[in-house]
Amino acid sequence: MSEVHAETVPFVRDTMLPSAAPPARQSGVVLWLRENLFSGPLNILLTLAGLAAVWGIVSHLWPWFAHAVWNASSIGECRQIIAERHGEGTTGACFAIIRERWNQFIFGFYPAEHYWRPTAVFGLMMFAVAPILFSESRRLRWTVLAVSAVTSFAACVALGAPDRVLLAVGAGFVALAALIEYAPRRALAFSVLYPFLAVWMLWGGSIWSPIAVLAGFALALVVWRLGARLGVGLLGLALGVAAAVWWWAALGPRVAADLQGLMPLALVPVESRSFGGFLLALTIGVSGIVMSLPLGIILALARQSNLPVVRTLAVMFIEFIRGVPLITLLFVASILLNYFLPPGTNFDIILRVIIMVTLFAAAYMAEVIRGGLAALPRGQYEGADSLGLTYWQAQRLIILPQALKISIPGIVGTFIGVFKDTTLVTFVGLFDPLKQMADTIRATFAWKGAYWEPYVFTGAIFFILCFAMSRYAMYLERRLKTDHR
- CA dist 292 and 415 (Å) reads 9
- CA dist 286 and 297 (Å) reads 17
- Residue 84 vs 483, nearer CB to another protein: 483
Shortest reach from residue 480's CB to another protein, in Å: 7
- Residue 233 vs 459, nearer CB to another protein: 233
- Residue 210 vs 372, nearer CB to another protein: 372
Question: Which H helix or E strand runs over 98?
Answer: helix 96-107
DSSP sequence for 175-190: HHHHHHHH-HHHHHHH
Shortest reach from residue 146's CB to another protein, in Å: 31
- Residue 282 vs 406, nearer CB to another protein: 406
Amino acid at 303: R
- CA dist 260 and 264 (Å) reads 5
Shortest reach from residue 389's CB to another protein, in Å: 6
- Residue 328 vs 380, nearer CB to another protein: 380
Residues in touch with another protein (CB under 8 A): 377, 379-380, 382-391, 393, 397-398, 401-402, 405, 480, 482-485
For the chain, the residue count is 485
Shortest reach from residue 363's CB to another protein, in Å: 27
- CA dist 438 and 423 (Å) reads 12
Shortest reach from residue 220's CB to another protein, in Å: 24
Shortest reach from residue 386's CB to another protein, in Å: 4
Shortest reach from residue 381's CB to another protein, in Å: 9
Shortest reach from residue 235's CB to another protein, in Å: 16
Shortest reach from residue 387's CB to another protein, in Å: 4
Asked if 438 and 392 touch (Cβ cutoff 8 Å), the reply is: no
- Residue 382 vs 439, nearer CB to another protein: 382
- CA dist 114 and 98 (Å) reads 20
What DSSP designation does 205 have?
E
- Residue 289 vs 394, nearer CB to another protein: 394
- Residue 14 vs 483, nearer CB to another protein: 483
- Phi, psi at residue 69, to the nearest 5°? -115, 130
Closest alpha carbon to 365 in 459, 280, 290, 454 = 290
- Residue 120 vs 297, nearer CB to another protein: 297
- Residue 398 vs 441, nearer CB to another protein: 398
Closest alpha carbon to 280 in 133, 442, 422, 456 = 422
Closest alpha carbon to 160 in 200, 100, 114, 201 = 114
Shortest reach from residue 479's CB to another protein, in Å: 12
Question: What b/e string do you get for 99-121 counting C-beta neighbours within 10 Å, with b at 16 or more?
Answer: ebbeebbbbbbbeeebbbbbbbb
- CA dist 275 and 353 (Å) reads 13
DSSP sequence for 12-58: ---SPPPP-PPPPPP--HHHHHHHHTSSSHHHHHHHHHHHHHHHHHH
